[in-house]
A and B are shown apart, each in its own frame.
Chain A
């Protein structure tokens, strides 16, 4: 699969199977900037969305998640048109850069919200919460509050919640960019493992090409509200085309 650019530069999508995510001529206006996105993503793929700040990366994610209403266009997930659906009714889980957890609730409760928005859990659900926390390496931390956890542990709790929600599409909006390099790589690897285990489809916004190389088979370069280039991550980063991508990546190491 590949993300396709509207202009047709990278048109002609190769599909291995029925796509999990289709974004069709999705347009949005923010102040003076008009954005139009087209994107297709196969089941089980991981796409990194790269680009300078203010290019519209996070807006693309917000449109897919349903936080923003598009002017026109469609979002199709797993064959269903979800454009008119509320965020909670879409088969999507989002992970933000911060404020993923409620500070006054424990790690368990934060994960439990993924199962029941009223936090009334039965025994089986409580077991599922404990299992999810154990899976992200926080088996003993259920009772702790976010303030008693490190930045990386907090994002693990949020990942555990995405596991119990069990939605096929995971949207990551730079959730690890505030972490130390080693920790960031650890988290990226954890995402990759979970993706493989659960067959998740992942879209990750990042401004760091290293992140893309680490976990994303494919990448799309967003600039000024458009996907300017897309393709297999390594090929895209080595081609360094168009000029905007070259400028974004900076001078080549000598």
Chain B
């Protein structure tokens, strides 16, 4: 098999879906007029707000993540392991669950306001609008950035810390000379990704934006399709998002190649700067803030879930129907994402390892990341318009949600699997070549035993993301076709908060269970623990 075939096939599928959807929508739009749409003041207001909130969210996430990563790198405290694990998985927490938790903490009758009333200050209504969007985006992205930065700090050779101890470097010297240079190499890449995630964010903006003043392009696309059925405007908005966000992200990615992503080991190194009183105070503050921002909303979900209506809500057949459909979507989308991502990576690995062309390999992997820039609603609607002539309209919902969810999970598969696949090749490629181990034999005897853990992780991430996703389902959802996140969104929208609390808790548990079952089942955790010790062989 030629090296380029897998990636070319996968990228053809991606290109056909994206291109087909955009063209179909453009053609279907009656009196489609890009110039007219572009002339609209509303459009540019939306663009301005999108850029503003994405920039602020990125800035805040990174600014908070730096002290948090530092504190995690040099402090041992109870719950550190758990927090690390949470940081590693922050991106797969269902958005709508987190939103529920954030509302329970920060909402008008939330915990913060309860405290304010106790203190005699009175209620403050600060959640909905830009503040809410920033809280929501920091909840997801600060831990993600902190984890990548922590990895960068951990990759500093232990000798550096010993040398620093001998020279008596102070805390700020350590930061300037050791930590900052390590962080700087990964920052542009991770900031670019966070910017893209915030730029295209949907559920957070829809629920916490609080009105037409705080609308992003992605939400505007959804509204154009769902409420106005203005296909032309949806395509225009999508194209603007594609060009603008794509250009910004490409520019950022030019600055540095993002590091590979794996779960952090969370090792603590002996450092000379753990004693200082100021340092302790700063770290304590950073960790406290983390607790308030990230942990509190999750606790709120757990606490609210156990309420009096739980038994009644859990007895509804509609709920379990949605659970079933959610699981089918999650597993199918996850598998599809894994296949597409794996195909791209097989080719890019060949390009990187055997042909010695890392830049070309990175370009090959880029479309898998840039897919995030395409609004999923445009994809789904475009395909719907395209396919409704040949297929049963009511049968289309499920496959379309699966396909679009798979594409949206693709960047994460590539990130989680890329590094380990490359390492596997560096260890074993020449040996396989010289022994003639190829094709099925290589997959069975070499790749699978070495990669089952990262494969399990990638599939778990992709499936869990899809399980918790409130995306195109918001467009296609109906009485008969609903997922758990959609039911939760409808409950929150209808102010049925006790019902929402039960669904949020159930969805969280389901995501956790799915993640652990896939990761543990495929990864063969026990078997692997033995293998990792032997990795140096």
In this assembly, does B537 line the interface, its C-beta being within 8 Å of a C-beta of chain A?
yes
Given A94-B430, A102-B445, A105-B445: A117 and B534 within 8 A (CB)?
no
Interface residues in A66-124 (C-beta closer than 8 Å to B)? 66-67, 86-89, 92-94, 96, 98-105, 113-114, 117-119
Q: Return chain A residues, CB-CB under 8 Å to B181.
A: none
Q: Which of B297-305, B334-342, B432-440, B510-518 lines the interface with chain A? A: B432-440
Q: A67-B433, A103-B535 are in contact. Are A117 and B441 (CB under 8 A)?
A: yes
B 512-537 binary contact with A (CB < 8 Å = 1; else 0): 00000000000000000001011101
**Contacts A96-B431, A99-B427, A147-B533: A89 and B436 contacting too (C-beta < 8 A)?**
yes
Interface residues of A in 115-147 (CB under 8 A from B): 117-119, 145-147
Of A99, A100, A114, most buried by chain B (CB within 10 Å of CB) is A99
Kindly state the separation between the CA atoms of A89 and B438 in the bound complex, as whole angstroms: 12
Contact assessment for A103 and B537 in the assembled complex, using a CB-CB cutoff below 8 Å: yes
Q: List the A side residues contacting B436 at CB < 8 Å.
A: 86-89, 117
Identify B531's interface contact among A100, A103, A117, A119, CB under 8 A: A103
Q: Which residue of A lies closest to B444 (CB)?
A: A118
On whether the beta carbons of B446 and A88 are closer than 8 Å, the reply is: no
Of listed B434, B450, B537, residue having the most chain A CB within 10 A: B434
Whether the Cβ atoms of A118 and B446 lie closer than 8 Å is: no
A96: chain B residues within 8 A (beta carbon): 430-431
Residues of A within 8 A of B535 (CB): 103
Report yes or no: B433 in contact with A87, Cβ–Cβ below 8 A: yes
Contact in complex: A114, B445 (CB < 8 Å): no
- CB of B449 closer than 8 Å to a CB of A: yes
Contacts of B162-180 to chain A: CB distance below 8 A: none
In the complex, which residues 51-69 of chain A have their Cβ closer than 8 Å to any Cβ of chain B?
65-67
Residue A154 at the chain B interface, CB threshold 8 Å: yes
Task: Determine which of B431, B433, B435, B449 lies in contact with A104 in the assembled complex, contact meaning CB atoms within 8 Å.
Answer: B449
**What count of chain A residues pass the 8 Å CB interface test?**
29
| Chain B residues whose CB sits within 8 angstroms of the CB of A98 once the complex forms | 537
Kindly state the separation between the CA atoms of A128 and B435 in the bound complex, as whole angstroms: 17
Contact B430–A67 (Cβ < 8 Å) = yes
Instruction: A117 to B427: give the CA distance in the assembly, Å.
Output: 17
Q: Given A102-B445, A104-B449, A118-B441, decide whether A147 and B434 contact each other with a Cβ distance below 8 A.
A: no
Q: Which residue on chain B has the smallest CB distance to residue A114?
A: B435
Does B428 touch A at the CB level, under 8 Å?
yes
A134 to B445, CA, bound (A): 25
8 Å CB contact of A102 from B428, B433, B438, B441? B428
Interface of A is mostly: loop
Q: In the complex, how many angstroms separate the beta carbon of A12 from the nearest chain B beta carbon?
A: 33
Cross-chain contact B434 with A101 (CB below 8 angstroms) = no
A146 contacts across to B, CB distance below 8 A: 534, 537
Complex CA gap A94/B431 in Å reads 8
C-alpha gap A178/B17 in the complex (Å): 52
Which residue in chain A gives the minimum CB-CB distance to B450? Answer: A104
Given A94-B430, A104-B449: A113 touches B534 (CB 8 Å cut-off)? no
The answer for the CA separation of A86 and B445 in the assembled complex, in Å, is 20
Known: A102-B446, A103-B534. A88 touches B428 (CB 8 A): no
**Complex contacts, B446 vs chain A, CB 8 Å:** 102
Determine if A99 and B428 form an interchain contact, defined as CB atoms under 8 angstroms apart: yes
Can you list, as one digit per residue, whether each of B420-433 has a CB less than 8 Å from chain A (1) or not (0)? Answer: 00000001101101
Nearest B residue to A88 via CB reads B436
Q: Are A86 and B433 in touch, CB under 8 angstroms?
A: yes
Q: How far is the CA of A119 from the CA of B441 in the complex (A)?
A: 8
Chain B residues positioned under 8 Å from A65 (CB to CB): 430, 434
CB atoms of A94 and B434 under 8 A apart: yes
Task: Give 25 CB contacts A-B under 8 Å.
Answer: A65-B430, A65-B434, A67-B430, A87-B430, A87-B433, A87-B434, A88-B433, A88-B434, A88-B436, A89-B436, A94-B430, A94-B434, A100-B431, A102-B445, A102-B446, A103-B535, A114-B435, A117-B438, A118-B440, A118-B441, A119-B445, A145-B534, A147-B534, A147-B537, A165-B435
A65-B430, A104-B450 known; 19 other A-B pairs, CB under 8 Å? Answer: A67-B433, A87-B436, A88-B438, A89-B436, A93-B434, A98-B537, A99-B427, A100-B431, A101-B537, A102-B446, A102-B449, A103-B534, A103-B535, A104-B449, A105-B445, A113-B437, A114-B435, A117-B436, A165-B435
